[in-house]
Structure formats: structure tokens, C-alpha cells
């Protein structure tokens, strides 16, 4: 279990590093999918088999395919890769990277000096049955809030993603109405 | 001694989160910014799973499912905004959308 955890963790870190340094969006996306698959292996090593399945199916499957569709719609070419490279000059990324490194040092310091939790993770498997019992038992309000959230996201995505000609048509209709009934205002 | 100390798992989550954070700050391409947000959410989910494994409770997995839901909603809205940005400004540079000059 420890070996699997460390191996998958190293793969996840390496592929994530490639995601944030890669200039080509499609390559970065493929590295991101690799990173998520490695994290799914980590979840499995920690005993959360149901979460590992969800990570592969929902994250690497659904959300990343959504990203891939958008990349296809954006019509990216070699010119955009060159522009992306020109945006990644060292003077632009050294400062933020040092800031993130300092935050990491603070977090590691907190982990090292803080009182450790007693016991170690042995990777006892947690079945989907237990997760489901918790989800629809004490956490049922969270499930309903997720339903709200998804409905709101659907409405917002439909509103943001609509075509401009709808806007133009609405504007024309509104203008017509104003000219037809000038006394309304 | 068999088993894994919790600080290793939380440390991995912190490393991934800060990588996502660094990417978020250094990138100007909106698509990469959204990808870095996904990395950060994924790292938060890993922290929940690690904590759930430490205390052998299902609560960590429940929170992970909630995080996946939030990430899906965020990706849908963010990619919609990205397509609007591309349509209106003909670029996916996030600095192009600074019309308020903030």
C-alpha cells in the first residue's frame, strides 16, 4: 500500500508539473488526465475504492472531455503555442513560484511540528455501501444542496453560453415595442 | 511499522494544491487557469480522502463527492465564460477582459 501510494503520488506530482509548464493545451490536458488517473490510484491505495471510481468516471471521464470539446472549439494552432511560450518568460513566473514555495514551506512546517494524529493509515477498504449510507443518512441535506447547485449551474451555463443573435433579436424586439408604444415611458 | 502517517498524504495534497496555485498565478491563458482550478479542487479532495482513511469514516468520501459536484458546476460555467471571452475579444488571454481597468 505504501509503495503504491508513493509511486502514484510521484506520478501525480510529475504530471501536474507538466500541466502548469506545458505550452500546448492538448498536451497539458492529457497530462492532467494522467495526473487524475494517478490520484485515482492513490485513492484506491488509501482504501477509498468508490472515490477512485468516481475520480476516473466523473473527473477524468466527464469533466476532462468537456475541456477537450472546448479546446476543439477554440481552433488552437502552432501560433497559439508560440504565443503561450512568449507569455511564460522567467521574470513572469519566478515571483509567484517563490510565493507558492514559501506557502508550501509554511504548510510543511505546520505538518512537521504539529502534534501528529495517533495511528497510521493502513488502507482499510471503505465500501460504496457505507458511503451511500452516510450520503443519504446524516448528509442528505448536502445531497439536496448539490441538487440546487447543479440546477443553478445549468441555468447559468445556459445563460452564458447562448448565442449573440438572441441578444440582438431581443434588442430589436424591445426597440420595436418602444417605437410602437411611445407613451409607455 | 506498517501503515502511512497522515502527514504524507496531507503533504501530497498540499504540494498538488500549491502547484495548482502557482499555475493559476503564472498563466494568462484562461483555459490553463481553469485547469489549475481543477488541480486545486482535486488536491482538496485528496486531503478529504486522506483524512477519511485516517479515521476510517465515510465522511471524507461524502465530502469528495460534494467537491466533484462543485468542480463539475465550476467547469461548466468557467468554460462557458471562456467561450464568451473567445467570441467577444477573439483571444483567450485573461488580461484582455480588463475593461473595468481595475
- A118 shares its domain with A143: no
What is the SS3 string spanning chain A? CHHHHHHHHHHHHHHHHHHHHCCCHHHHHHHHHHHHHHHHHHHHHCCCHHHHHHHHHHHHHHHHHHHHHHHHHCCCCHHHHHHHHHHCCHHHHHHHHHHHHHHHHHHHHHHHHCCCCCCCECCCCCCHHHHHHHHCCCCHHHHHHHHHHHHHHHHHHHHHCCCHHHHHHHHHHHHHHHHHCHHHC
Asked if A61 is an interface residue toward chain B (Cβ–Cβ < 8 A), one would say: no
Asked if A125 is an interface residue toward chain B (Cβ–Cβ < 8 A), one would say: no
d(CA A69, CA A169): 28
- A115 shares its domain with A143: no
Q: Which of A159-163, A175-179, B88-92 shows the lowest mean pLDDT across its residues? A: A175-179
C-alpha cell at A57: 468516471
The residue segments making up the domain with residue A179 are 139-185
| Span B23-59, pLDDT tens digits | 888 888 889 999 999 999 999 999 999 998 888 888 9
**B39–A16 C-beta distance less than 8 A:** yes
**B20–A87 C-beta distance less than 8 A:** no
Tell me the ipTM for this assembly.
0.91
- Among B residues 30-69, those touching chain A with beta carbons less than 8 Å apart: 31-32, 34-36, 38-39, 42, 45-46, 49-50, 52-54, 56-62, 64-66, 68-69
- A149 shares its domain with A103: no
- Determine the pLDDT at residue B26: 86
d(CA B31, CA A58): 19
| Span A125-144, pLDDT tens digits | 888 888 888 889 899 999 99
Q: Has residue A174 been placed in a domain?
A: yes
| Widest pairwise Cα distance in chain A | 78
Which whole-number Å values give the CA distances from A84 to A20, A24, A94, A97, B91, in the listed order? 12, 8, 16, 18, 12
- CATH number of the structural domain spanning residue A44: 1.20.120.1200
Name which of A12, A36, A116 is nearest B7 (Cβ-Cβ).
A116
Q: Is the pTM of this model over 0.80?
A: yes
Please count the structural domains in chain A. Answer: 2
- A7 shares its domain with A87: yes
Amino acid at each position: 500500500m505504501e509503495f503504491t501510494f508513493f509511486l502514484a503520488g510521484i506520478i501525480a506530482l510529475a504530471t501536474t508539473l507538466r500541466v502548469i509548464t506545458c505550452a500546448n493545451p492538448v498536451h497539458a490536458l492529457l497530462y492532467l488526465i494522467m495526473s487524475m488517473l494517478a490520484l485515482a490510484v492513490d485513492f484506491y491505495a488509501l482504501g477509498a475504492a468508490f472515490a477512485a471510481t468516481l475520480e476516473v468516471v466523473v473527473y477524468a471521464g466527464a469533466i476532462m472531455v468537456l475541456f477537450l470539446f472546448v479546446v476543439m472549439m477554440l481552433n488552437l494552432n502552432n501560433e497559439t503555442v508560440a504565443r503561450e511560450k512568449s507569455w511564460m518568460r522567467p521574470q513572469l513566473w519566478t515571483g509567484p513560484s517563490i510565493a507558492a514555495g514559501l506557502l508550501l514551506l509554511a504548510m510543511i512546517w505546520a505538518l512537521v511540528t504539529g502534534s501528529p494524529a495517533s495511528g497510521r493509515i493502513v488502507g482499510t477498504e471503505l465500501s460504496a455501501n457505507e458511503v451511500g449510507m452516510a450520503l443519504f443518512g446524516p448528509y442528505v441535506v448536502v445531497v439536496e444542496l448539490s441538487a440546487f447547485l447543479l440546477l443553478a449551474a445549468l441555468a447559468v451555463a445556459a445563460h452564458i453560453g447562448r448565442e449573440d443573435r438572441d441578444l440582438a433579436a431581443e434588442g430589436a424586439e424591445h426597440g420595436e415595442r418602444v417605437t410602437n408604444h411611445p407613451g409607455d415611458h | 511499522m506498517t501503515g502511512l502517517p497522515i502527514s504524507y498524504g496531507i503533504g501530497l495534497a498540499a504540494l498538488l494544491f500549491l502547484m495548482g496555485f502557482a499555475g493559476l498565478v503564472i498563466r494568462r491563458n484562461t483555459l490553463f487557469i481553469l485547469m489549475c482550478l481543477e488541480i486545486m479542487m482535486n488536491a482538496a479532495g485528496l486531503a478529504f480522502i486522506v483524512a477519511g482513511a485516517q479515521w476510517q469514516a465515510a465522511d471524507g468520501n461524502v465530502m469528495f463527492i460534494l467537491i466533484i459536484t462543485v468542480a463539475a458546476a465550476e467547469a461548466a460555467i468557467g468554460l462557458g465564460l471562456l467561450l464568451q471571452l473567445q467570441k467577444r475579444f477573439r483571444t483567450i488571454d485573461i488580461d484582455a477582459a480588463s475593461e473595468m481597468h481595475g
